[in-house]
Structure 1
Amino acid sequence: MKKDVKKVVLAYSGGLDTSIILKWLGDNYNCEVVTFTADIGQNEDLNPIKEKALNLGIKEENIFILDIKEEFVKDYVFPMFRANAIYEGEYLLGTSIARPLIAKKLVEIAKKTGADAISHGATGKGNDQVRFELGAYALMPDVKIIAPWREWDLNSREKLLAYANKHGISIEKKPGKSPYSMDSNLLHISYEGLILEDPNASPQEDMWRWTSSPKDAPNESEIIEIEFKNGDPVALNGVNLSPANMLNALNNLGAKHGIGRLDLVENRYVGMKSRGCYETPGGTIMLKAHRAIESITLDKGAAHLKDEIMPKYAELIYNGFWFSPERLMLQALIDESQRHVNGVVRLELYKGNVIILGRSSKSDSLFDAEFSTFEEDEVFNQKDAEGFIKLNALRFIISGKNGRK
C-alpha cells in the first residue's frame, strides 16, 4: 500500500538506479521530489548531476549538492578511529561510517523544504537500507521512507534499462567507469559483484582504482611523522592540516606505497555473507599510528577496556546504530580515554607496509625508563614479584591441594 506523500527527499547520485527512482517517485507517488547529493570525497565531478536532475524535471531550488567532507572526517571518521574500530577483524567501515551523515543531511533537507518523506536506492539485500533508515528514524521519528527496491518489480539491469528507455532517461556510461558495484568516499573505495561473487576468485589487478600494487610501489621507502592531539591526527610532517586534508594527504601517501588493500568475506546485518574488496590507504596508516601513540599514553586498564568494547562499537556502526544511545554512551567513554593521547608517531611506508619507527609524547607518556630498564635501577624491588606471583597463584595452589586439575 502506497504511503500518502507530499514531498520526498531522494539521496541522488545521478546514476542509473537513482535517476530511474527520481522518475518512478513522481509517477507512483505523484509527489514533489527534492534531490540531495553528498560530496564526501568520492572524487567525481558533481556538476553534471545538477543538469541531469534539471533535465528530469526537478526544480533548481529542489536540488541540493553539499560538500560535507570536513564534517564527514571530523565528526564521523575521527571519532570512529579514536576507538580503533574494525569490523570482524579487518574491515575499516568505510561505507558504514558515511551512511549516518547522509541520513542526517536527508533529514535536515526534509525539514528545511517541508518534505514528509525520504527515499534511497539501497536494495533489500544490503546493509545500507538499514543504515539510512535507522538514522532517519532516530532524527525524524515521523518521517516516511520510500525504498523502491522493496516495492517495484525492476529487479534486473535489463528491466531498469528498459524503464529508462521508455521514459527518456539518458544513461551515459562514464569513461573509465568500473563495472563493479562501487562505493567511494574520502575514507575508502569498495568493490562488489561480478567475479567477486565467487569468494575463491582472485580480484583482477585492473579492478583497483586507487592504490598502486605493492609490487609496483616505489623501491624507496618514505618516512613520515603524524602528530596526535586528544586522539586525532592534527599535523603531518610538522604541517597542521584540517581533518579532510589530513585524510586526503594520508590517502595519497598510502596509495603511492600500495597500502590499504583488503579482500574480505563479511557477515551482513541482514544475514547473508558478502565478499567485497576495499582500498583504505589513509585509514590504514592512521589506525597503525593511533595505536602506536596510545601504546605510550594510554593506561593499561583503559587500553584493555577499549579493546574489549571495540568489537561492539564497530558492530553498532556496521549495523547502522550510529545515533543509538549505546553508541553515544560508548563514544563518551572512548573520548574520555583520549584526553592524554597526545604526541608524535614516526612511520615508514614501504610496498604495502606501515612500519612504526618511533613514538613520543612530551607531556603524556606513561613509559618510564627507570621502571622498564633491564639495567640496574633504584625504583623497582624485584623481590616484590615473588609475593605478586604467589597471590595470583593462590587459587591454583588451593585447587591443586584438593586434587583438581
Structure 2
Amino acid sequence: MKKKVVLAFSGGLDTSYCAIYLSKDLNLEVHSVIVDTGGFTKEELEHIEKRAYALGVASHHAVDAVKGYYESAIRYLIYGNVLKNNTYPLSVSAERVTQATAIAEYAKQIGADYVAHGSTGAGNDQVRFDMIFNILCPQVGIITPIRDLKLSREAEIEYLKSHGVEFNFEKAAYSINKGIWGTSVGGKETLKSKGVLPEEAWPTQVTKSDAEEVVLEFDKGELVGINDKKFDHPTDAIKELQTLAGPFGIGRDVHVGDTIIGIKGRVGFEAAAPMVILKAHHALEKHTLTKWQLSWKDQLANFYGTWMHEGQFHDPVMRNMEAFLTDSQKTVSGKVFVQLQPYRFQIIGIESAHDLMASKFGSYGEMNEGYTGEDVKGFSKIFGNQVKIFHNVNS
C-alpha cells in the first residue's frame, strides 16, 4: 500500500507542483487540506477543491478554523493590544500557527506517514510549519519539495505542463494573503528598504470619503457589539467592522521586521478592523485598569506577540500568559466611540461602569475629592525620601 502524505494545499503554483510531485515522483497517496482562517469565500474553497482533485489527490479536506483561530489566538492579541514593532497586528504569523496546528492534527487523525508544505527556504513559514509539525506529530516525516529542490517558478510550470497540467499560473504583480485578522501585501516596492505600495496594490480600495462614527461595545475585553447591534461571536463583529472601516483605507501600513531566520523583511498590510479594535480596546483599558496592570500587560504582551510571531505558540509559557491576560480583562467592559475618516481614525472617548476617571474622585488638574493639600505635602516628602538621602550623602 502507498504511504499517506497530508499536503498543506492552497491551490497556487507551489502546492500544485507538490501535489503532482508527491504522487508521481514519490509514489505517495496525497491527501490535501486547506485551513480557512477567514481568507476564502465559499466559491473560492470550492474552486480550490476542484483543482486539488484535478491534480489527482486521493482526498481533499477543508478545515473551517475561523472561530478556533479567534479563540486560540486573536482574543489574546486583543487582550494584549499586540502590535509587532508597534506596527503590525500579526496578521499572517498568528494565522500560520493556527493553520500548521490544524494540519498536524489532521495528519494524526488520518494516520499519515508524512506531512508536506510548499514553503521556500527564504521565509518565516518554513520554520513555523516544520517546528509545529515536529512538536505535535514528531512521528510523521516532513517533505518540502520547493525548498529542498530549490525550484524556480519556471521549472515548476514546465514540470506541471509535462504532466498535463495547464492551469493559469500567471504571476500576479502583488502577493496577497487574506485572513480575518488582516491582509498582507507584498510586491516589488517591499523588497527594498525604500518604497510605498501604489493605490492599485491594495485589495480594498477607498470608496468612502464622509466621516462616520461607530460605537464599539466590549465585554470583558471582547468585541460583542457595533452601533447597538449585538453579535453571536466576536468573529462576526470583526467582519462587520472590516466592512465599515475597510473602504476608508484605514489600517494600511508597511511593516519592517526581524524574521525568525535572522534577516530583515518588509511587507505591506491592510488591517482596518484589527487596528481599530486594538486602539479602541487599549483606550478602554487605560480607563479601567490600574497603572501596574497596564505596565505588566505591556511587558507580557510584547513577549507573547514575539513568541507567537516566531511560531512558539505551543510553549506552555504562552498558556501562562494567556491566563494573566484573560484575568486582566474582568473590568474591561464598556463602549468606545470612534470616528472613521479616509486613511485614519480617531478615538473620541469611552463610557464604562468601570471607568477609573469617575469625576466623584476628582478631576485631573482641576479639583480633588480624595485627599487634602496637607496630605500631598507629607506624601511628597516620604515618596522622595530615599533619593533625597542619596543626594545628601553623596553630594
> TM-score scaled by structure 1?
0.91
Cα shift readout 1:8-61 (whole Å, capped 9, x = no counterpart): 1111011111000111112343221110012222244121211111111113xx
Structure 2 residue 336 is matched with structure 1 residue 345: yes
In structure 1, the residue matched to 2:257 is 266
1:296-322 C-alpha deviation (Å, 9 max, x unpaired): 221221111101222211100110011
Map residues 4-23 of structure 1 onto 2, 5 A cutoff.
6-23=3-20
The aligned amino acid for 1:166 is: S
Percent identity between matched residues is 31
- Please, which of 373, 383, 399 is the counterpart of residue 390 of structure 2? 399
Q: In structure 1, what is the equivalent of residue 45 of structure 2? A: 46
Alpha-carbon distance in structure 2 between the residues aligned to 1:128 and 1:313: 18
Equivalent pair of 1:14/1:52 in contact (CA under 8 Å) = yes
Shift of residue 333 of structure 1?
Answer: 0.9
| Aligned-partner SS, 2:269 | strand
1:162-189 per-position Cα deviation (integer Å, ceiling 9, x unaligned): 2122222223158xx8422221111211
Deviation per CA, 1:53-74: give whole Å up to 9, x if none.
1111113xx2102322222233
- TM-aligned CA distance change 1:377 to 1:390, over 3 Å: closer
Give TM-score, length-normalised by structure 2.
0.93
Counterparts in 2 of 1:389 and 1:20: CA distance versus 1, 3 Å: same
Corresponding letter in the other structure for 1:85:
V
Q: Which runs of 5+ in 2 are unaligned?
A: none
Per-residue deviation at 1:376?
A: 4.7
Query: Secondary structure of the residue that 1:276 maps to in structure 2?
Result: strand
Aligned-pair CA distance for 1:259: 0.5
Q: Deviations over 1:87-135 (max 9, x none)?
A: 1121110001111211122122212211122111122221111222222
CA distance in 1, matches of 2:172, 2:183: 11
Aligned to 1:57: 56
Question: Per-residue deviation at 1:375?
Answer: 4.8
Q: Summarize the Cα distance change of 1:382–1:168 in structure 2 as closer, same or farther, 3 Å threshold.
A: farther
Partner of 2:88: helix, strand, or coil?
A: coil
Question: Closer, same or farther in 2 for the Cα pair 1:388/1:116, shift >3 Å?
Answer: farther
Classify the secondary structure of the residue corresponding to 2:33.
strand
- Contact residue 20 and residue 169 of structure 1 kept, 8 A: no
* C-alpha contact 2:35 2:103 (8 A) present in aligned 1: no
Residue 382 (structure 1) shift? 2.5
Q: Do 2:4 and 2:31's aligned partners in 1 also have CA atoms closer than 8 Å?
A: yes
Partner of 2:314: 323
Matching residue within 209, 228, 241 for 1:238: 228
1:328 is displaced (CA, Å) by: 1.4
Structure 2 SS opposite 1:90: coil
RMSD: 1.9
Question: Does the 8 Å CA contact 1:15/1:171 hold for their aligned counterparts?
Answer: no
The alpha-carbon deviation at position 211 of structure 1 amounts to 4.5
Given the alignment of the two structures, is residue 116 of structure 1 paired with residue 116 of structure 2, yes or no? Answer: no
Q: Which amino acid aligns with 1:200?
A: K
Q: Render the CA deviation track for 1:341-381: whole Å, top value 9, x for unaligned.
A: 1111111111222211221122x332231223255554322
Aligned to 2:173: 179
SS in 2 for 1:182: strand
The residue type equivalent to 1:153 in the other structure is K
Residue-pair matches, total: 390
* Aligned residue among 347, 350, 358 for 1:368: 358
Residues in 1 aligned to 2:150 and 2:301: alpha-carbon distance in whole angstroms: 40
One-letter amino acid of the counterpart of residue 29, structure 1: L
Residue 156 of structure 2: aligned partner:
160
Gaps of 5+ in 1: none
When residues 6 and 382 of structure 1 are mapped into structure 2, their CA distance, relative to the original with a 3 A threshold, is: farther
